[in-house]
Structure 1
């Protein structure tokens, strides 16, 4: 039985097989090939249909018997279907995917000045879409230009930024390459990266209340359109919506933050058990790394060393998704930690009456007044980071049910 799949060079972290399974295709594999293997792959034609990703979207055009007009117009092929006569039909599904992404996030490019970072095949598709949607002016900037020059800042009348490069993509999480404040008219930021869900660029846009979108919706919509071209599904708006939500939920880390003693670890364990996810206790990892109890780390080595371990731990664990993480209460203090929490996180702020908190053994809290000062200091940060706020009671099951209900999230397989 012939298979479907994704053709590319480095596919280790691809979500495509997972998305296509959600769309009902269990025969979707990864074809990870070197350039010198392409001739044999296409000569054999042992597939019913494939998607094509970097760096082969232009290279595969020579193997196609027919190329659709839309693919010719864009200048790249990302979908190949074998027709009833055995001919290879080269097409483009990313166009539909990016249109879906723009519509979903509500960013209007009509009459706008747009700067597109990246000049590869993805950039060609993006340019074709925004041109058709009436963008006023389109400027492209190559990765080399980003690294060697800041001339792109001279375009200070830019309204919308679209990043099609891999800058900030896993494993280079946290990379910053654009200063958004240098574009005073900016009213929209989009990028094609979906891992992590929030790059530094997306976080910077959120901090400035600029409408934005990561690339997951485009990836899901492209897969949906491909399955239609494969002849496996019929158009179904509900299917694309539910598939996107499933993939989005599956990628999220549920991160619990709050004051010491509010119940983060206990609640995290119950949520993890109900949803079938790994449970990560940041305080426990810090203690294990230091080789001594948590209070000893703080008192014996000082706060600076403790915070360094904290940042190192968060940086490592939050790169993955699909976990439930009980965060150390002070982890939210540093800007760097805030990014790590946000990059794949859905942040749940647990609150409780101060009189109900258990803070015995917490180095920074010697009395109730110290606790109150801590609350005054950290509340604005918790509020900034939180996706939701939940009041904790002694009924753990009730608290957990409330969190799961608000998130409208279902048990799912781990993606670690």
Structure 2
């Protein structure tokens, strides 16, 4: 879609140069601003679309936010401060009004995070406090504006060049109260990368929390680091939904109860959340996972089967012929690829927990379920590690890891269908 024709019959839409998958049509349908189209335009097509298109409301994304502000007839105070707009509305007189609902969306997210996770309002907690903002692009400007006007905070922008860089982060800013990532580092498919190493994050001893405007994956690499350090954290889905709500209000000329924001968040998480099954070899992860996937209408992925298909040999053959270490390498590669995807049921091999680097890829978009079968019921046929070491020894080593990694523990019921039903019940699926 490279021109106004991309709108079709829609009067609302998202405009950008290169648009991949977006949740915006689904969110706006839920909010009432539909039909909503995704419209890709080249730079020379933006002005004709904005000035002459038969639209009622447009959201604007990279790289057109500054040009969108310049093309408007009327600019909100936030747009005038920032010089960028992500929302355009056609007024009744035909004039174009520009707003930046990223500011409003982040303000909503910040207010809820402070209230529910930190125990106070943004101004009570952050007024006069230093907040680190990673990145200097359009999202950064919106976040800085919200921090200064909603919370009265002192925002310090950290970028790859200039006076405040990642190299001076720890040295100068260990007293920062909050850290916000506005860069695309850690966004799908390059996840779970993080713009700040966990070691540096740990040295920011004044931090009370971490926010990330990236919303895919659900838990970014930065949020996973914060989680391991015991810091409250949240990625950007709430901001995405809240900014859409404020845009939709402008599109429709009516107020929308913001209580719908967490409802839409839950709906999206229901669709995108992976269910990840871990447990001892022979616990029934594959059979229960298949039954669960059928019940949920989701794709099923068995990591051992992925490895076998790609390597042309079963997991047992690879372990026997090349050693367990080689199998763990290819297992980790497959785990990273599928853990980055969404809406799957994933069955992991019994030894996935022996490599700590597998946790982040599974956790980033997944709820991890331990399928717990009594040791006496675990078979060892075609399981070389179980045969070599014995089930009891293996369980003594791995069960603490399974429990540490899992969000939910499900006792096996005796049938795959029973296990799948119990998992659904425990996860509310």
TM-score range, shorter chain: over 0.9
1:227-376 alignment to 2 at 5 Å?
A: 227-231=248-252, 234-366=255-387, 370-376=390-396
Unaligned stretches of 5+ residues in structure 2:
1-8
Equivalent position of 1:93 in the other structure: 101
- Secondary structure, in 3 states, of the residue corresponding to 1:289? helix
| In structure 2, distance between residues paired with 1:393 and 1:214 | 35
The alpha carbon displacement at 1:296 in A equals 1.0
Q: How far does the alpha carbon of each residue in 1:185-227 deviate from its partner, in whole angstroms, 9 at most, with x for none?
A: 2210001001111222111000011000000111011112221
1:61 to 49, 69, 81: 69
1:2-401 alignment to 2 at 5 Å?
A: 2-105=10-113, 106-107=117-118, 108=122, 109-111=125-127, 112-144=129-161, 150-154=167-171, 155-178=173-196, 179-231=200-252, 234-366=255-387, 370-401=390-421
Q: TM-score, normalised by structure 2?
A: 0.89
The alpha carbon displacement at 1:329 in A equals 1.2
The alpha carbon displacement at 1:20 in A equals 2.0
The alpha carbon displacement at 1:50 in A equals 0.6
1:113–1:135 CA contact under 8 A, matched in 2:
no
- Secondary structure, in 3 states, of the residue corresponding to 2:384? coil
The alpha carbon displacement at 1:145 in A equals 5.8
The alpha carbon displacement at 1:339 in A equals 1.3
Q: TM-score, normalised by structure 1?
A: 0.92
| In structure 2, distance between residues paired with 1:160 and 1:234 | 31
| In structure 1, distance between residues paired with 2:327 and 2:83 | 53
2:33–2:252 CA contact under 8 A, matched in 1:
no
The alpha carbon displacement at 1:71 in A equals 2.6
* C-alpha distance 84-149 of structure 1, shift in aligned 2 (>3 A): closer
* C-alpha distance 22-298 of structure 1, shift in aligned 2 (>3 A): farther
Q: How far does the alpha carbon of each residue in 1:379-401 deviate from its partner, in whole angstroms, 9 at most, with x for none?
A: 22222221111111214333322
Of 127-136 and 247-256, deviating more is 127-136
What's the Cα RMSD here?
2.1
Q: How far does the alpha carbon of each residue in 1:341-383 deviate from its partner, in whole angstroms, 9 at most, with x for none?
A: 112111111112111222322111128x721222222222222
| In structure 2, distance between residues paired with 1:21 and 1:317 | 29
| In structure 2, distance between residues paired with 1:233 and 1:386 | 44
| In structure 2, distance between residues paired with 1:118 and 1:231 | 33
- Secondary structure, in 3 states, of the residue corresponding to 1:297? helix
* C-alpha distance 309-232 of structure 1, shift in aligned 2 (>3 A): farther
Unaligned stretches of 5+ residues in structure 1:
410-416
2:160–2:166 CA contact under 8 A, matched in 1:
no
2:133–2:158 CA contact under 8 A, matched in 1:
yes
